Chain A
Amino acid sequence: MRSPIPILLLTLSLPMQANAQGTTVVEADRLVLAPGTVLEGNAARLAYRQGKVTAVGNEIPAAVLESAIRVKYSGTLVPGFVNPHSQLGLSADLGERIDAFTPSLQAVDAFDPFSETLEQQVRGGVAGIGLAPTSGNTFGGLAAVVTWDGEEGQVLAEVSYLKLAIVAESLDQSRFPTSRMGAADLIRSNLLMANHPLAGADPDHQVLKDVLAGSRKMAIHADSHAEISVALDLCAEFSIAPILIGCKELHDSIQRLAGSEVSVILSALSMESKQSQLNLPAELAEAGVAFSFMAEDAESLRLSAALAVHAGLSRDQALAAITSTPASQCGVDDLLGSLRVGNSASFCVFSGDPLDLTSKLIAVHIDGKAIALRGAKDEAR
């Protein structure tokens, strides 16, 4: 044997190697690549290199299998969760209430990479968070998608969807609009102006132009039935397929959404939620409407999915609501939401099915790097 020093260096630098050069193959009892695509038994393995998934299942070359670092977990491996709408505890910094029309403001400018809420969410299994402006403005601004790599926060997408709000929170008596009527007028007039050929190329209307052209998504926060109706009417006027956020009283409008491209971000379900809210996910799934959950922490996200399953939603659709659907709503489905080749190697491992609350979170990997769980000491894998 040659001198042990290179091997010693090799072993000492293992944690960094996993990211830098070598491939890591992770195995589990069950591997869920995407809701509906499950690998089991010997095929339940995934290879990643430099934070990106290189091969899955039986397609992993034997050579790679031999030379790679093998990690084995006993449990179910699922893609990391995606929380499509959160303020990460920065509500004060993300709301510019003075002017209700600020679509060009970017939430990423208020991002705090050392935020404790961010750290806790990621430690709980959330791989990506849609950092959105608050609902204090009619036109809040552009959301961003962020994550945490174990040391500090990282931005995955600087601009994602345009956040609007028509809830009571967005109405302020000290400035226009002070009523829902005024809010609807504000939205309509600005969208009309954006279409106008003589409209200025100011950044605000540029954003609206993108929305109208279809290259940028628009998300509206509306809770009550009236607010949801107004939002849908406005979007129908301009042929926009919005993302609806909140939607506590959506059950009356579900038929209207069926067959359209509208998707929904539901507020987190809890054990205190009304039965009508608990039944919403199953009804939306039946109508073929895509939906996801938003929450302020990882456990609430999982609890929402579990409560939806308890109320009749299928397990696949519940998992989609916290992985693939929010990833596509935020526009980061090439990175998160599923473990296809080329996606980020961000996943979490549970002792059983993650939708059964009896399962425990065993491991979280963000971009291939292991993250210590909440309460556990930081250790280099």
Chain B
Amino acid sequence: MSQKIVVKELMGERCSQRLSPNGFRDGRFLRDVILYELQRNDSLEVDLNGIVVMTPSFADEAFGKLLYDYSSDQLTKQLKFIIGTAEPHIVNRINSAVSNRSAIIEAEKQKKQGNHFSKESVTS
């Protein structure tokens, strides 16, 4: 079964806050919605039509941190993005967020196992 989230309907065309004081229209809220839908559906379409602004913080909170619940392979399989009329740099934002968060998670794992990475070695 497949479902669709239209980001502009949930967040407006400007996605800026990682965490807002009232928890409304922030990155965490969108991530919660994505996680909720992924639990109930085999696949999920994330429609980015009309999004004009997405800060790095928002992209990390909404998409990067999905990696704490799903592996990269699972997300590639289950999550599809519809770019449409979204500003071109939005795709790069999301890709960078996921890539950097993946590196952070790897560094956290290494730290727990007793191997230490410097910040410079894990961020691109």
Is chain B a partner of chain A in the same complex?
no
Interface residues of A (CB under 8 A from B): none
Interface residues of B (CB under 8 A from A): none
